[in-house]
A and B are shown apart, each in its own frame.
Chain A
């Protein structure tokens, strides 16, 4: 469950203030946020992830005002409840696929069995790359690993920032479907921001900034 109200944000160096429409997502509801570059999509996503603090307004995730948390508590909250998917960088380069997932779970303070990790890798067709370093993976494999990283800890919210921009049509479809499936499995809200109109048809809810 996500609710935002009267969110505003401005970067220190810039005079311009972003104002965002209110978002209300019930359990299992997904949202697509469309918009041109520079319109503040990523800013909104970072506000939802607690990576930025808004100038005004409030964000509630599961009835918790995330901006009322202290910096350390917010780090912990993010680690436990939020999964982020990025456009290109999906995991830590010095670790293998499997160790990335283990490290993620350790940092999220979640205890999940190795067999569950294996299961997820199987599901995402990554099991044979389990012990490879990140640099050995292809674009599509990396994007799938990014999804694995964002859902392995059973988050309440999955936030995806341009997850499909660098993918071809086929991979684009695969990734969006995987994201939706994993969100559903985890009973999580999926919020995707993109300027990629190819994925509009996959979402019932969408807003344009």
Chain B
């Protein structure tokens, strides 16, 4: 027998009280952890996915949309820009890296991005097995894509047009998987990466077919057709453009890209280059960090509100624990006094009550963690019915520790307040009032 065993017996002798306290505390821990994890995932997704992309050049339109589409690969692009014109900026000496990307297709909801090999260096992505794309229609799969679609090196697939999975508009050109990337926990995990030529080839081919088969059709109809697929307008423009210039299709200079991702050598360029592009060209330059911060500020209010609710719940459960411990100490005053007559010191009684509190906390933490994991799992399974494959970010240990620390501080405070009557206990009075 020891103090610990007495505490365990005490806990066992009142299962309902224990269960309720544990459940209440677990719920608030789960809520706090869950919100923190969502917030972290969201922020991480946004910030980390920027890689070292400082600037995006794309078609005029909403800068936020441009950033969402070209950097986070979430929204539809604003349109296309001429490759030639974009490349002029790419040669600026203040620029470290300028990587063109071009969209157009997806495979089962995962976007196929036509780009240059340097694209991967934005995300420090490495090839897990296989090799780089060497010729048109070869692709490298992000880790999550390979995992979810169960694709291996050498597998082939047909892409569908647009950025949303659909059966209505499937291309005839087969893509071949030549490489799979290591997991990066960044946006590239859910992308299918190929070279620019692949995208051009698929769509040129398509355009030829379109020309052959629907030569008599009005462009206007073509336009509608694409909108129906949830497609973006620029593709129509692209095709439009190709209709007009299709005899020059093979010259890279006349090609279009969706956007140009830029990282600077010299941060001073941030001040001059965007203005030059926005004022002097038909293109726009958007700063991903700035745009996402704006977005984050908006959504931050929601997270803040939920966080506050969670803190309120935590305070309530702290109070519940305090009240139940306090009540328990009052109700068990005679038992505690008896223990004192058996030779127990005040310290031993305090230890006993503290252990009881700690047992409740430990169970609450375990159950709280399970709640969080299960809750997020169901939440994301539910959300992933959309085309956005969201990654739940593991909560950084420092943040988890912060929450755990907070909960512990709260509980220790409740326990110490509840213990106060033990310190003040007058054994003689309690024993004389025996009823």
Asked whether, in the complex, the Cβ of B1 is within 8 Å of the Cβ of A94, the reply is no
Q: A94-B9, A94-B335 are in contact. Are A89 and B2 (CB under 8 A)?
A: no
Which interface residue of A43, A78, A91 has the most chain B CB atoms within 10 A?
Answer: A78
Bound CA span A105–B343, Å: 9
A-B contact number at CB 8 A = 84
Which interface residue of B2, B14, B344, B346 has the most chain A CB atoms within 10 A?
Answer: B344
Contact digits for A158-178, partner B, Cβ 8 Å, 1 yes 0 no: 000100000000000000000
Q: Which of B6, B14, B334, B427 contacts A89 (CB 8 A)?
A: B334
Which interface residue of A43, A52, A84, A89 has the most chain B CB atoms within 10 A?
Answer: A89
A52 partner residues in chain B, CB cutoff 8 A = 428
Nearest CB of A to B314, in Å: 28
Is B216 interfacial (CB-CB < 8 Å)? no
Is A189 interfacial (CB-CB < 8 Å)? no
Nearest CB of B to A156, in Å: 13
Q: Which of B335, B343, B435 contacts A107 (CB 8 A)?
A: B343
A99 partner residues in chain B, CB cutoff 8 A = 1, 5, 9
A78 partner residues in chain B, CB cutoff 8 A = 341, 343
Is B404 interfacial (CB-CB < 8 Å)? no
A104 partner residues in chain B, CB cutoff 8 A = 342
A92 partner residues in chain B, CB cutoff 8 A = 6, 335, 338-339
CB neighbors of B among A42-95 (8 A): 42-43, 46, 49, 51-52, 72, 75-76, 78-80, 82, 84, 86-89, 91-95
Which interface residue of A80, A93, A149 has the most chain B CB atoms within 10 A?
Answer: A93
CB neighbors of A among B402-435 (8 A): 427-428, 431-432, 434-435
Which secondary structure dominates chain B's binding surface? helix
Asked whether, in the complex, the Cβ of A95 is within 8 Å of the Cβ of B6, the reply is yes
Q: A88-B434, A103-B1, A103-B6 are in contact. Are A75 and B343 (CB under 8 A)?
A: yes
Asked whether, in the complex, the Cβ of A46 is within 8 Å of the Cβ of B432, the reply is yes
Q: A46-B432, A52-B428, A86-B434 are in contact. Are A109 and B6 (CB under 8 A)?
A: no
Nearest CB of B to A164, in Å: 14
A72 partner residues in chain B, CB cutoff 8 A = 345
Asked whether, in the complex, the Cβ of A103 is within 8 Å of the Cβ of B342, the reply is yes
B residues near A (Cβ < 8 Å) are 1-2, 5-6, 9-10, 12-14, 332, 334-335, 338-346, 348, 427-428, 431-432, 434-435
Task: A51-B431, A95-B6, A105-B1 are known; give 20 further A-B pairs, CB within 8 A.
Answer: A42-B432, A49-B341, A72-B345, A75-B343, A76-B345, A78-B343, A79-B344, A84-B341, A84-B431, A87-B434, A93-B335, A94-B14, A95-B9, A99-B9, A103-B339, A107-B342, A107-B344, A107-B348, A108-B342, A108-B343
**Mind listing 7 A-B residue pairs with CB under 8 Å?**
A75-B344, A78-B341, A79-B342, A80-B343, A92-B339, A95-B6, A104-B342
